[in-house]
Amino acid sequence: MAGVALKFEDYIFPEEAKSKWENSEIIKAIHRSQHTQRNYDLSKTIPIEDVKTIITAATQCPSKQNVSFYDLHIVTNQKTILDIFETTTSIHSDDDQYNGLSNPQVLANMLLVFTEKSVDKKSNHREANKVLEGVEKQENDRIVSNDRHVAVGIAAGYVNLTASLLGYETGCCSCVMNYDKAQELLGSSGMPILLMGVGFKNEGKNRRVHALKGSETLKNNNWLELFKTAKKEPISINYIK
């Protein structure tokens, strides 16, 4: 909806909020952050103060009992980013053009990679510290894993909105297929959970155009040059007063 006037009838706001629009710039940034960037202007460099702000968003967001469930890797070297890109692929679909498709959302000016960090008995996490008396370790591990993915999701949301407010585009990818290679490139023993590209919009180019359009790599893999898009599905809201 970027560049399109937002209408109140598009939202399900409380009646008393229908005539208010004080936070329009924030709401527009939220809508911009919903869009996925498939190509970035790599001729530009993200200023260091913006890098610091985005890192702060990724590391100072809430997590259960303030546990550090993940490690964060910041990649700006374009050769390394390209190598990480080559470890990704999309989920196979009935459309053959998607089969084996590497994810250009990561070919950004800056790549954030969230990797799994073990939660041990030195942690604040209650389940990790719990003496297993009648509680199955498998269930404890499930709880910790769930809390980890919630934490990464919150961090990604913080980064997404922060980047949008700063004027950048983003793309998220959890489709790492060659985990060993990705971990080697990152120098990490933790499994990658989420890859998040942040960067400059490629002015004059549709955001859904594959970053490698026209290349032999794209042609040889029969990849799509223009990604499909879908309208945001409505989410039911129930006001209880």
- 71 forms beta bridges with 115
Say if CB 73 and CB 188 are below 8 A apart. Answer: yes
Which phi and psi angles does 36 have, rounded to 5°? -95, 130
At 7 the pLDDT is: 57
Judged against a pLDDT cut of 80, whether residue 15 lies above it is answered with no
Over range 191-202, report the average pLDDT: 96
139-153 pLDDT tens trace: 888 888 999 999 999
* Domain chopping of the chain, boundaries: 35-220
How many residues would you count in the chain? Answer: 241
At 128 the pLDDT is: 64
Where do runs of H (alpha helix) occur along 187-240? Answer: 216-221
Helix (H) or strand (E) holding 132: none
State the chain's mean pLDDT as an integer: 84
- 198 forms beta bridges with 110, 170
Of 93 and 105, the structure prediction assigns the larger pLDDT to: 105
HSE, side-chain direction, 13 A CA sphere, residue 230: 3
- 67 forms beta bridges with none
Query: Which CATH superfamily hosts domain 35-220?
Result: NADH Oxidase (3.40.109.10)
Q: Is the pTM of this model over 0.75?
A: yes
33-85 pLDDT tens trace: 988 999 999 999 999 999 999 999 999 999 998 999 999 999 999 999 999 99
Judged against a pLDDT cut of 70, whether residue 1 lies above it is answered with no
Distance CA 120, CA 83 (A): 32
Over range 223-236, report the average pLDDT: 78
